[in-house]
Amino acid sequence: MSANADVLQGSEVMGSPAQERAWPQVGVFRETNDWNPENFAREQIRGLVRRVFFTSPARPVKQVVFSAAEPHTDVAGICDQVGQALALETRAHIAVVGRNPRVEEMVRAHHRGMGGAAIKSWSTQTAINLWRVPGFGLRPCGEESGTGRYWLSCLAELRSEFEYAVIHGPAAGISSEAVLLGQLADGIILVLGAHSTRRATARKIKETLEAAQSRILGTVLSERTFPVPERIYRRL
Q: Render each residue's pLDDT in the chain as its tens digit; 236 residues.
A: 444 555 554 333 444 444 444 555 454 444 455 667 778 778 888 999 999 999 888 889 999 999 999 888 889 999 999 999 999 999 999 999 987 655 555 555 555 445 557 888 878 899 999 999 987 665 555 555 667 788 888 899 899 999 999 999 988 878 788 889 999 999 999 999 878 888 898 899 999 999 998 899 988 888 765 555 555 444 44
Q: Where are the domains of the chain?
A: 61-233
Q: Tell me how long the chain is.
A: 236
> Which DSSP letter does residue 186 get?
S
Q: Strand, coil or helix: what is 159?
A: helix
- 235 and 10 in contact (C-beta within 8 Å)? no
Q: How far is it, in rounded angstroms, from Cα 73 to Cα 195?
A: 10
pLDDT for 49: 95
pTM over 0.85: no
Cβ neighbors of 202 (< 8 A, separation 6 or more) are: 10, 13, 14, 69, 190, 192, 219
- Say if residues 63 and 185 touch (Cβ distance below 8 Å): yes
Rounded CA separation 102/93 (Å): 26
Measured distance CA(124)–CA(188) in Å, rounded: 24
Contacts by 31-36 with C-beta closer than 8 Å and gap 24+? 31/227, 31/228, 31/229, 31/230, 31/233, 35/227
CATH 3.30.360.10 fits 61-233, yes or no: no
Residue 104 CA to residue 6 CA, distance in Å, equals: 30
